Structure 1
Amino acid sequence: MDNTDRFNIENLGAPQYRSPLKLSTVEGDQIFNFVSESNRLVFDLSMEHYNQCLTDGVQPVCLEKAGPRQDIFFDAENATAAIVTCGGLCPGINNVIRGLVMALHYFYGVKKILGVPYGYEGLNPEKGHKLTELTPDKVKDIHQFGGTFLGSSRGGQDVSVMVDTLEANQIDMLFAIGGDGTLKGVNALGKEISKRNAKISVVGIPKTIDNDIDLIDESFGFETAFDVASPILRDAHNEATGAYNGISIIKLMGRDSGFIAASAALAMPVVNFVLVPEMDFKLDGEGGFLKVLEKRLQKKKHAVIVVAEGAGQQLFKERTIVKDASGNIQHEDIGVFLKEKITEYFKDKIPVTIKYIDPSYIVRCAPANSSDSVFCSRLAYHAVHGAMAGKTKFVASRVNNNYVYVPISEVTKKRKKIDLEGEFWFSVLQSTGQPFSM
């Protein structure tokens, strides 16, 4: 495939119907315009990429702009949609469910919307979960609560069986809200649907509290996560300063990427150390973490440490690799480990008081804040517009602060991680005052 085609979105076929949305095609009439299929946005905005394209005489790599199309693929009034939520909980899931239902019902007049209970299990009849009908009245208040109205589960089911269920229920479009594993599942469903020459659109809405979906600006729920974590860090700081040589250790979510830990520390700048999976730090020796912590206590008599759950895994000598149902490696508990090592290190040196706090499940079950609520609604609307146009195997997302459609195959190639040479991490180091390396 030519690199300029990298972000092309698959279509189920040519549009067959006019959109019921009463939008415009004329600039300047103060009515929102339909988005043209030719409306593309440049992916790499750097001058270096621009000059390279000029030199090579090629078009830059572009993304398809999200939004409503004038011509759509499905007969909206006779279409059936389904919504499924998979994987771990995250703020904003209910906002997305609500947004999807409202957009399908009120924008396009879709009369039948089904909720799939307990993740992909709900598409396997052997599990005994029954699909439930969703209406605006049923979902109108769910955005006020955390968790997922539909229930969730980890792990995949037999792809062929799931497509059988979609076909048996005459589902025309499936909206899957989930992270890396969920999105790979959507892609697998799309491939099986293509093999059968069926006309079912499968769409992903990226959900991961860790913000580790590649290419996109941000996944929903992430901002709420560090927003909820910030006052916890404030209180942990109060605990640390309330004791002579007080140490507070706060473990936050972040299996492979430390965005929550780093962002929370920036939002509540009382943190002295941020430990993330991207950095390989050592405990012992002159430049090791324990020695640096000792110097901090000698100077300030307290310390606040924020550690992402996936940090420091290299410190565990004998590790047995165990994976959860989603295929994620289950990490050793770095928070408890650090508390034990710090206690041991200072035992014969100076008295310390250590408080260990793990608010992970409180953070991930919180309702979305105002900013995330706006984000969730807009993602839901764009997902519906794309599906109604017959697009499939894509995620609705924001890239370079624009809403676009990106092929699922592109965002699942690797996980997004903190660039330790980037300005964001430098900001964290400036805020904490910790060394560049330990």
Structure 2
Amino acid sequence: YELRRRRAFRPPACQVFAQPYTLLEETDRFRFSIDPEAERQLPSIIHNKVQIISGKAKVPKAVAERYTRRQNIGIVFSGGPAPGGHNVIAGLFDAAQRVNPENRVFGFRVGPDGVIENEAVEITREFVDDYRNLGGFTMIKTGRAKIDSKQKIDLSRETCKALGLDALVIVGGDDSNTNAAFLAQELVNDGIQVIGVPKTIDGDIQVRDDQGQVLCAVSFGFHTAARAFANAISGLANDASSDIKYYHVCKVMGRVASHLALEVALQAHPNITIIGEDLVDFVDEERLEKAAKENRIDYTAYGMTLRHLSRIICEGIVKRAGAGKNYGIIVIPEGVLEFVNEVEVFIMKLNTIIAEYNRTHDRDFHSAFPSLQGKLEYLHRLAQRSRDDSAFRLWNTRDEDLFNDLPEFFQEGLLTERDSHGNFQFSQIHTERVLMGLVQDYLNILKEKGIYKIGIDAAYFRKALAKAGLDPDRFGPALFQNFGKGHFLLTKAAIISAKTLRQELERAGLIGPEEKLPEVIDKIYKKTVPSFKVQEHFYGYDGRG
């Protein structure tokens, strides 16, 4: 019943589509600076103006004839699936049939490979009705191939001509739409339109003109993903505040964009959210001030390092612990490491090394060096080469030393195989494990320094001591650095163990050297000692490999 109901649902259409005719009208409202390289490679389409869809009740006869002429349209999915894909096909089919029942729509199977190999299926009323309002891209499947060579473009042109296509609709993300632009350039003289439909869960197709006006605020897929992830993380927050013993670290997909993590944060209100784009403009004012006093410039003060990022997270954890909350939710975008200085440099260098190897060898890099040890040995040879050849600077001995200091799992992640678009696969690297390992190490240091402590509710302290027959006003000043000044009490920095606790009480004359530590005091002390426990979660579609 539920499936039938879902298939029968008809989403409301924009008012403009209620008119018998919809026309495209150019507008000068939006202005863009033209990139010289884009202009060189896309000369026939780069100066296209933004077009506004307008609904018309009547149009001239010539326009009506052109509007209703018989057309063949192709559609293909590219990249990861997202809710709403089937309705793009349904909407296209319904509109084509409404304009002219003789119009035909063809779906290309398994992504761009279907276009290259002419693997097409005609979309019929029965076919499309089976998939209306259903998630996934199962109707015609999807793929990650790129139409990025003369041979592939020529084969795609042959496919379009064989099917008599007037237009090809490519549903995909930023890479897919970039690829679509190049294909449009190649097919423009053939009279075949290429139309890109922005689809990405990452939310990183946001078009703004030079005045900051937004053309594509939200792509389909993003809204559903944000809502689903926010609901799941909200439920996790309830768990965290119920068992009060874990930090749940939630890695949210989005590749190098933090839009999804930010939207989840706005909806679910986690305790800590890292936004990668904010790290780019980070300036360590303290380091700059220190360097200025020493009459020098500290360039490392610009941008975020892994160490500094981990310490920012630690600062939030310590503050929460001081308020009696040694638990919570941390949201991390999967691509946050690209915004960290040393990691970004490694990714760029390794991308270049792998691409150059693949360009000059018969076997690709990962086939030639299947093990981590083999990859490290190859990098070692490059580092040696940098010593012998001063002109070779891509990978030097300093790079090698820094890379060898990284945990093995992190090395494997940085050397993982790139996706079909040549992008680093952030979903394949344990970002949260890298960060939390550094966080754990620094929290241990802060614990030893007497900084990382769990605050004790002042009312609980008074109640517990009174019940045990002890005077809280006598013991409080000896135990706590802020006794009488706050809702949560923090033990003195010197109290970092049972021994130092005893020493403080003896110094205050509250117990003798041979006296046993009062049981209630021991119990309260143990409550102030934090144990940092983490549970890791990944939210997203891990299908990029």
User: TM-score scaled by structure 1?
Assistant: 0.64
Instruction: Give the number of the structure with larger relative contact order, counting CA–CA contacts within 8 Å between residues 6 or more apart.
Output: 1
What is the 5 A alignment of 1:266-305? 266-269=266-269, 271-280=270-279, 281-282=304-305, 284=307, 288-299=312-323, 300-305=325-330
1:181 paired with 2:175, answer yes
Q: How does 1:100-139 map to 2 (within 5 A)?
A: 100-125=92-117, 130-139=119-128
Find the aligned partners of 2:29 and 2:73 in 1 and give their Cα distance: 31
SS at 1:355's partner residue? Answer: strand
Tell me which amino acid in the other structure corresponds to 2:540.
S
Q: Which amino acid aligns with 2:159?
A: T
Which residue number corresponds to residue 351 of structure 1? 531
What do residues 146-187 of structure 1 show as CA deviations (whole Å, max 9, x unaligned)?
210211111313212111111122111111111122112222
Runs (4+) of structure 1 exceeding 6 A deviation are none
Q: Let me know the Cα RMSD of the aligned residues.
A: 3.1
Tell me what 1:376 maps to.
none
| AA of the residue aligned to 2:177 | L
Contiguous gaps of at least 5 residues in structure 1: 1-30, 45-60, 365-438
Per the alignment, do residues 154 and 185 of structure 1 end up closer, same or farther by CA in structure 2, a change over 3 Å counting? same
Cα pair 2:80 2:541 within 8 Å, conserved: no
Percent identical across equivalent pairs? 25
Deviations 1:125-153 (A, max 9, x none): 2xxx7211101221124233221021111
- CA drift of 1:250 comes to 0.8
Q: Are the equivalent residues in 1 in contact too, given 2:252–2:538 (CA < 8 A)? A: yes
List aligned pairs for 1:196-275, cutoff 5 A: 197-215=189-207, 216-269=216-269, 271-275=270-274
Displacement, 1:36? 5.9
Q: Which has the higher strand share?
A: 1
State the distance in 2 between where 1:363 and 1:236 align: 24
Shift of 1:76: 4.6
2:86 corresponds to 1:94:
yes
In the alignment, is residue 164 of structure 1 matched against residue 158 of structure 2? yes
How big is each residue's C-alpha offset from its partner over 1:2-21, in whole Å with a ceiling of 9 and x where there is no partner?
A: xxxxxxxxxxxxxxxxxxxx
Secondary structure of the 1:278 match is helix
Alignment-derived partner of residue 376 in structure 2? none
2:36 is matched with none
**Which of these residues, 312, 318, 341, is aligned with residue 438 of structure 2?**
341
Distance 1:323 1:81 in 2: 33
Give the number of equivalent residue pairs: 313
1:48 is aligned to: none
Q: In structure 2, what residue type is equivalent to 1:339?
A: M
**1:185-243 deviations in Å (ceiling 9; x for gaps):** 2222222223xx32212111111111111312211121111111111111221232234
CA distance in 1, matches of 2:69, 2:49: 33
| Structure 2 stretches lacking a partner, 5+ long | 1-17, 32-47, 208-215, 280-303, 352-416, 448-529
Secondary structure of 2:91 counterpart: helix
Instruction: Report 1:379-390 matches (<5 A).
Output: none
Contact 1:155 1:327 in 2 (8 A): no
Structure 1: how far apart are the matches of 2:179 and 2:78? Answer: 10
Aligned to 1:65: 52
Q: Does 1:150 align with 2:140?
A: yes
**1:191 paired to 2:180:** no
Letter in 2 for 1:329: F
